[in-house]
Amino acid sequence: MKASYFGPMGYSERSKFPDTWPIPASYHEPKTSVESYQEGIEECEFAEEMGFEWVSFSEHHYSGRIATGNPALMAAAVAERCKRVKIALLGQLLPLNNPVRAAEEIGMLDNLTNGRVIMGFLRGTPNEDQTYGVNPNEGRARLLEGMDLVIKALTEPQPFSWEGRYYQYRTVSVWPPPVQQPMPPAIVATRSDDAVRYAAENRLGLGISFIPVQTMEKITSKYYQWCQDAGWQPEPDQRVYRGSIYLAETDKKADEWFDSLSGPQSRRRLGMSAAVEQAVQAARTGDQFDLRNIIAGSAQGDVAGAAPSLSFMGGPDTVVNQMKAFHDRCGTGVVDLFFQQPRTSHKEVMREIELFGKEVLPRIKEF
């Protein structure tokens, strides 16, 4: 099993944010923000030094908790400092974006990194739908079409036009094409049957985030069956789990940290007004895997604001066992780890990375 350092580049004073989304720009202080990005980059560098094999970035908006509205931009900056690790975009929110632009960013990044890019596609959490005014009801279909378009844009050697349901481009000709041919490895980050099936039928990897191992097992079982039906088996690097982590020297210390948390973890809503929340969810009807309280960038988000969303917690032995469960039950080959909990400082994160590199990573590599 490999480890990936998820770089959210969180604003260091994020514990002072309100538990609503979006976070007003009035909370932004330039000096703190600049330092926060530098600290985030240092964490990536240190993760590479400690043996992590990937660093990853996700597109999230309007929140200093995951301050990477453009993950390709962040990845390009980090790639200049981290020269060995894979640079994983996990990923771009295709329903929100121009997929041709996404393909251009992937192509550029793969050239800038000499072929170290792993690309990932996802729909995004319900609050993300509000970012650029996309109808939440269209998100899934936009994701499916967007993936086809990105792949075609990266692999077609001649200029072409695209007549889609949601996208129409009469001239597409991505330059530069990726270094990795025919295209960089791709991960579909999803829990939904249609997108899982898409990944299987198109021989793409599967990334799943922030759910318990027993739930993940149900999804990966379907994925593996559909891969088998399509005549192939995914490699370990194509089986990714993103989880949040708090690693301490002992279980007791980790428990003490968790018990010290108070406040927003008891809140179970999206961070938007009740009326907006209701409208968004209604528009996404049928999305059985929308975790109503798991919202990227919100106080209850995919971090330790709520106990169920903390995937790995404890001392090294416990965390190794937790990760082994994902490996043994779900076939997970890469764990993408979110260390920047709301109330952990840069210094604490660096300590955790070091501890992980020394006490956990050598053991999970043997899985």
Partner 1 sequence: MASKSPEITSAFQETLLEVDGLTVRSFEAGQGDPVVVLDTLSWGLTSVHLALAQSFRVVVLQLPGFAAGAPGEASQSVKDLAGTMAEAAALSGVAEGDSTGAGKYSLIGTSFAANVALWQAIQAPEQVEALILISPTIIRPTGIVPSGDREQMGRSLLAHPDNQESLTRIDVAVTAQEHELAQRLLDGGPSPVLSQETEDRLGEVQCPTLVVFGLQDKLAAPEAGSILREKLPNSHLSFIYDAGHAIALERPEALAGLVVDYVARQETFIVSQDDGVINP
Of 142 and 239, the one with the shorter C-beta distance to partner 1 is 142
Residue 120: DSSP 8-state: E
188-to-50, 122, 185, 210, 317 alpha-carbon distances in Å: 27, 6, 10, 15, 31
Q: Tell how strand 312-314 and strand 239-247 pair up.
A: parallel
Residue 57 token pair: 């970035």
How far CA 106 is from CA of 116, 179, 337, in Å, comes to 11, 10, 22
Q: Does 157 bind partner 1 (CB under 8 A)?
A: yes
Q: Is position 240 an interface residue for partner 1 (rule: CB under 8 A)? A: no
Residues of span 165-184 touching partner 1 by CB under 8 A: 165, 167, 170-171
Residue of 110, 145, 302, 352 that binds partner 1 (CB under 8 A): 145
Q: Least CB distance from residue 166 to partner 1, whole Å?
A: 9
Q: Whose Cβ is closer to partner 1: residue 142's or residue 191's? A: 142
Question: Which residue is associated with the tokens 């590479």?
Answer: 48
Distance of alpha carbon 141 from alpha carbon 201, whole angstroms:
17
Q: In the bound complex, what is the minimum distance in angstroms from residue 170's beta carbon to partner 1?
A: 4
Q: Is 135 in the site for partner 1 (CB under 8 A)?
A: no
**Rule CB under 8 A: is residue 229 a binding residue for partner 1?**
no
d(CA 303, CA 297): 9
Stretch that binds partner 1, among 38-46, 53-61, 163-171, 207-215 (CB under 8 A): 163-171
Based on CB atoms, which residue is closest to partner 1, 46 or 169?
Answer: 169
**Nearest CA to 140 among 35, 308, 283?**
283
Distances (CA, A) of 186 to 44, 89, 91, 208, 304: 21, 9, 10, 13, 28
Among 3, 78, 149, 349, binds partner 1 (CB under 8 A): 149
Minimum gap (Å) between residue 99 Cβ and partner 1: 11
| Nearest residue (CB) to partner 1, 152 versus 267 | 152
Give me the least distance between CB of 123 and partner 1, in Å please.
18
Q: Does 161 bind partner 1 (CB under 8 A)?
A: yes
Least distance in angstroms from the C-beta of 16 to partner 1: 37
Nearest distance in Å: CB 181, partner 1: 14
**Listed ranges 33-41, 157-165, 244-252, 301-309: which one lies at the site for partner 1 (CB under 8 A):** 157-165
Helical H segments across 213-263, by residue range: 213-229, 251-260
For partner 1, the binding residues (CB under 8 A) are: 145, 148-149, 152, 156-165, 167, 170-171
